[in-house]
Amino acid sequence: MEILLMKTILILHTGGTIAMSKNIDGGVAPNNINPLDMFENPFVDKLNLITEDIFNLPSPHIGPEEMLLIQKRILKAISENIDGVVITHGTDTLEETAYFLDLTIQNDFPVVVTGAMRSANEIGSDGLHNFQTAIQTAASDSAKNKGVLVVMNDEIHTARYVTKTHTTNVATFRTPTFGPIGLVTKDRILFYEQLLLTNYHPIKNLVSHVYLVKAYAGMDPEILEFMDNDQTNGIVIEALGAGNLPPRILPILKKLLNRQIPVVLVSRCFNGIAQEVYSYDGGGIQLSHMGVIFCHGLNGQKARIKLLVGLSDGLSGNSLKDFLSDAVS
């Protein structure tokens, strides 16, 4: 490892399978005491580990409020001479928390998120290994200024593009279209790509009622009619293919846009980006002319986090559009 000086790594446990065990009935559930608290620092002569259990939640119980708590704790660490941060997290919503942090923290030190697919007492448990490699990555100088990173199964992914792709396999985290930017090898942390960095938005409060909807063949307009009210702050639609919608959605879409509700489009495809390609009814060109914002390269859940962060930072109109479409970062 390229670790030369004594460094301090802040570890924030938030729960998830990495902190769970299989019980006698075969169900996997949280423990009263996090098994990771028993982790013996294998790098005692090189790394000082400060551990905090900020909460112990399955990640489906985590939402923007919890993400903001994690963000605030990391911002506090900036004045505490911390050299890196590791966050352990359930994998179900890990990519959303990681991307939320990526958008809201200017991290000169590495911030690494990890989790596990097998709980602490299951054969082949991946928790300790992922935890250890996440610490090594957070302690690596080469991990600085790369945005928030996700380390799982010996791969290093950007929070911006990584996604959970398998329900149970330990190799679940993948980065469609672009691939991981680095590897954890037996003896070093290795990067071979650099993310284009963007500005950060250090929000302090959150807006609510930002929705995510998936398009499907024959999509029913009623789903969007539910959002046609004053409470709705924004909507992300995972559209078909290159970025198209069934024509029967157009009337309600117009109503939502007339209400000045931002409607953001991504593709429901696993690879590629939403683009204004088709000029038929419901095609991307028409949607774009109507005022729908095309968000490039993100999946639906990430685009929703980005919309939430942009709105929470007070962006609207063209500034929100530029932020979401990556015209500015």
Ligand X SMILES: NC(=O)C[C@H](N)C(=O)O
Q: CB under 6 A: which stretch of 64-72, 95-103, 111-119, 316-324 binds ligand X?
A: 111-119
Q: Could you tell me the CA-to-CA distances from 7 to 1, 2, 134, 225 in Å, in that order?
A: 13, 12, 14, 54
- What number of other Cβ atoms are within 10 A of residue 320's Cβ? 20
Which of 13, 14, 47, 59 forms a contact with ligand X (CB under 6 A)?
59
Nearest distance from residue 119's CB to ligand X, in Å? 8
Q: CB under 6 A: which stretch of 114-122, 136-144, 182-190, 218-226 binds ligand X?
A: 114-122
Ligand-binding annotation for 175, yes or no, is: no
Ligand-binding annotation for 92, yes or no, is: yes
Nearer to ligand X, 56 or 198 (CB): 56
Q: Locate all alpha helices (DSSP H) within the chain, ordered by sequence.
A: 64-77, 94-104, 127-138, 222-225, 250-258, 284-290, 300-312, 317-324
| Residues listed for the chain | 329
Residue 91 binds ligand X, judged by CB under 6 A: yes
Residue 262 binds ligand X, judged by CB under 6 A: no
What is the separation of C-alpha 277 from the centre of its chain, rounded to a whole number of angstroms?
28
Among residues 14, 88, 91, 93, the one annotated as catalytic is: 91
Nearest distance from residue 172's CB to ligand X, in Å? 8
Residues from 272 through 291 that contact ligand X (CB under 6 A): none
Ligand-binding annotation for 25, yes or no, is: no
If you search the block for the tokens 């938005």, which residue do you land on? 201
What stretch of H or E contains 163?
Answer: strand 163-164
Nearest distance from residue 117's CB to ligand X, in Å? 5
DSSP state of 268: S
Q: Nearest Cα to 30, choosing from 57, 70, 66?
A: 57
Nearest distance from residue 118's CB to ligand X, in Å? 8
The Cα–Cα gap between 303 and 249 comes to 20
Q: Using only C-alpha atoms, what is the Rg of the chain?
A: 21
Is 165 annotated in the active site? no
Amino acid making up residue 206 = L
**Residue with the shortest CB distance to ligand X:** 90
Nearer to ligand X, 10 or 117 (CB): 117
Nearer to ligand X, 115 or 262 (CB): 115
Is 91 annotated in the active site? yes
Which of 64, 115, 243, 300 forms a contact with ligand X (CB under 6 A)?
115
Residue 127 binds ligand X, judged by CB under 6 A: no
Residue 58 binds ligand X, judged by CB under 6 A: yes
Which of 7, 13, 17, 151 forms a contact with ligand X (CB under 6 A)?
17
Q: CB under 6 A: which stretch of 39-47, 88-96, 261-269, 285-293 binds ligand X?
A: 88-96
Q: Locate all alpha helices (DSSP H) within 105-243, ordered by sequence.
A: 127-138, 222-225
Nearest distance from residue 167's CB to ligand X, in Å? 9
Residue 92 binds ligand X, judged by CB under 6 A: yes
- The DSSP result for 11-69, as a single string, is EEE--SGGGEEE-TTS-EEE-SS-GGGG---TTTTTEEEEEEE-----GGG--HHHHHH
Nearest distance from residue 193's CB to ligand X, in Å? 26
Q: Could you tell me the CA-to-CA distances from 45 to 1, 2, 133, 283 in Å, in that order?
A: 13, 14, 17, 60
Contact criterion met (CB below 8 Å) for 157 and 175:
yes
Residues that bind ligand X (CB under 6 A): 16-17, 58-59, 90-92, 115-117
List, by residue number, the catalytic residues.
Answer: 17, 91
Annotated binding site for substrate: 59, 91-92
